[in-house]
Structure 1
């Protein structure tokens, strides 16, 4: 348990090296264990077969002798025994009482009494001194003799081969550990190289900003996918940071003008306005107007920030679409009696959008249409179906938007004509809010405009 805990405290480079080496060594050990026992069993089987072959030749010689089998014939077979006997092997014949009739020894054997051996097994193993021996016995029966033949074979050659095999395998195991450790270390360096690059890049980002990116490898694997995902995440963070920076700069700029105006009027009031009714009236009126602009700007900023965490509300139903449009248009008509609002409600199947957000979009788009239609005061509100999508169109016949400004109209605080927009009380946040609402519902908002002709805003929702 302590070893595992210590390994867990190592760096991933050494963890991979240790575990890879351990797994290779464990696999090799299992393979070596079975190989060692397989080879040992095969060698032992060869020893047994050799002894059996000697026994078969010996018995064949005894039974092929002419006449009845007697002690004299057995004793006369010593030359044949010498001929077939191999090194480190003892052949002997005993009678039924265990008396030794003949014995032929090839090698140095300790003294072995016949009654020391197990006579009831054909093949058995016996330890003589420190040496293991194989004993093979067969009964030998004739008309004048009855006894048994025993072959005792020292397994020193077998033990020597096993020792050499075990030493070779242990040496190979140690070599395998060293090689696997080296391979594991090299592989861990290669595997962790992309992570090291990611770490270095993150440190650069920490000190130098969001411009650094991780190189993406050509092969499609988990590291390549991680690098791509990291770069995409950094792109989004960088974009968000730039937008936030731009938002703060624009908000500061927008707030600075009314605050400066308020400060000027209050300074003027403090110096001369207390005793001058005309200055007092003018400054108070201007201050109220600027505070109203500030209030509108702050409310717009709050609405924009709320869209980052949209709250659930009552979802719009198809039967409510026309009612909401009609109610919103009625409110605008009360404020702008000289405007003509044309409603063309052809399709109302809209789902998955809250009533509050739908009305907010309508209000923003109608407010812009009214502001920038100073001459021909006619606005058209139309709904239709296009490829199973709900489409809302709001068209005016106003001053239009220059072509070069169209890509920027959805940016926060952007105004086509800043001086005129300020006079009309615009904050430059309406279209940014509308686009954020539409994108939240995975919809699309597009503006088509021609300067001096008019503007058409097209909002598309995909019903889910």
Structure 2
């Protein structure tokens, strides 16, 4: 989604740039006007010159106009569509889109009109080809996922073959285990696939020689099923979280298409909403990528010995510059040396501080402390917020978990922040201590083993 958005924006900007380049010679010729405009018009037949400003289309923002190549004082650039029959097709409507530059030279008003239709249609065709290519990549990834499941279940298939071989050996022995039980065991294992990972092997009390084998198989099935269900939940939750901002963006795009071209208020409201939802999607995708890389163990930790008080002090200084609605109190027991990745630790503490800000009323106090206790550094973030119910405490580090959806909608967030913080802290062999009371506040403590300073 992000790449496609960038392609659309870059393509549109390139089309405007091309239109601007062609106007440079015309503007230079207008500065020394001939007896009539016909000779100027023939400089480039793709452009039309009007001796007055008549178009009132969508005016480009000033920041975009400054980045375009033609520099002319008080130029008004706009995009509009000629009025036409509503029954014509989409491609015919695209042909009617015009790009205009209005300006004044020698006390005369001019408007240069350039048809964007052919360029836009070419870009749409190319973009459609890119979308087809992306669809092929998605289909290929789905195929890879199927192969991965088969690879995961391959140990079970191998175990089935071993069991069948064991059955052949035992069946030849005159014992109370006449091979019937092993045949049953092999049959159960053969029937287990991705859709039946919850199946388990049952061994009765008379089969003591098979109990350990069945128990080991059941334990392996439990681990595979837990991992598989976790991935399914993760994909489902991620899809659900992305569906909402996409729906909002689509709604405002439709609103712009219907009424926003003529209504400046509607257009600005739509632009603000699309920017906000795009930023939310960007944050969510970055969090998902972080967790995916974390699950694959591809994130490198660059540990060093440093004073954790310095990191806490930096976070408070940065936060106070952007949040004037809360009172921040600092209590730092310097020095408090730890061996950690400074950037990742800063990210984890900032997540805790951001949560405290979200759930603490205006004017209330947020406390950050660094304390040394029994050869451990305690980094404490304490707020005066809404608190957490006891039954919700065991789940606050679960991915996409939010104890109160109505509060989550007001404060924002995807429910991934604490999951990221937990991953970071656990990779440093540290842990959390949490104390929370409803309507009083929450105190979260990160406990690190102390480290000797480089100086000592």
* 2:383–2:443 contact (8 Å) kept in structure 1: yes
Does the aligned pair in 1 maintain the 2:309–2:370 contact within 8 Å?
no
SS of equivalent to 2:364: strand
Measure, in 2, the Cα distance between the counterparts of 1:196 and 1:438.
48
Distance in 1 of aligned mates of 2:425 and 2:264: 50
Cα deviation, residue 365, structure 1: 0.5
Residue in 1 aligned with 2:387? 400
Match of 1:412 among 399, 402, 409: 399
- What TM-score, normalized by structure 1, do the two folds share? 0.55
Say whether the 8 Å CA contact 1:399–1:451 is kept in structure 2.
Answer: yes
Structure-2 residue corresponding to 1:378? 365
- The question of whether the paired residues in 2 share the 8 Å contact of 1:376 and 1:398 is answered with no
Work out whether 1:312 is the aligned partner of 2:300: yes
The equivalent residue for 2:279 is 292
Q: Contact 2:338–2:377 (CA<8 Å) still a contact in 1? A: yes
Question: Aligned runs of 1:79-90 on 2, under 5 Å?
Answer: none
Give me the whole-angstrom Cα distance separating, in 1, the residues matched to 2:274 and 2:355.
25
Task: For residues 145-173 of structure 1, give each alpha carbon's deviation from its aligned partner in whole angstroms, at most 9, with x where no partner exists.
Answer: xxxxxxxxxxxxxxxxxxxxxxxxxxxxx
Q: Indicate how the Cα distance of structure 1 residues 233 and 333 shifts in structure 2: closer, same or farther if over 3 A, else same.
A: farther
Q: Secondary structure at the match of 1:205?
A: coil
1:348 maps to which residue? 336
- Give the alignment of 1:146-295 within 5 angstroms: 185-186=173-174, 190=177, 196=183, 198-206=185-193, 208-215=195-202, 224-295=211-282
1:434 CA displacement: 1.5
Higher RCO by CA contacts (8 Å cutoff, separation 6 or greater) = 1
Structure 1, residues 2-38: CA drift from partner, whole Å, max 9, x if none? Answer: xxxxxxx9x7359858xxxxxxxxxxxxxxxxxxxxx
Q: Does 1:12 align with 2:165?
A: yes
Tell me if structure 2 keeps the 8 A contact 1:321–1:350: yes
Whether the 8 Å contact between 2:325 and 2:362 is mirrored in structure 1 is no
**C-alpha distance in 1, partners of 2:202/2:450?**
40
Give TM-score, length-normalised by structure 2. Answer: 0.55
- Matched residue, 2:122: none
Deviation readout 1:37-57 (Å, 9 max, x if unpaired): xxxxxxxxxxxxxxxxxxxxx
For structure 2, the residue ranges without an aligned partner over 5 or more in a row are: 1-161, 452-456
Offset, 1:207 = 6.8
Shift of 1:280: 0.9
Aligned length: 288
Q: Of the two, which has the highest radius of gyration?
A: 1
Secondary structure, in 3 states, of the residue corresponding to 1:253?
A: helix
Structure 1: runs of 5 or more not aligned:
1-8, 18-181
**1:420 Cα shift?**
3.3
Query: In structure 1, what is the equivalent of residue 139 of structure 2?
Result: none
Q: Is the 8 A contact 2:307 2:337 kept in 1?
A: no
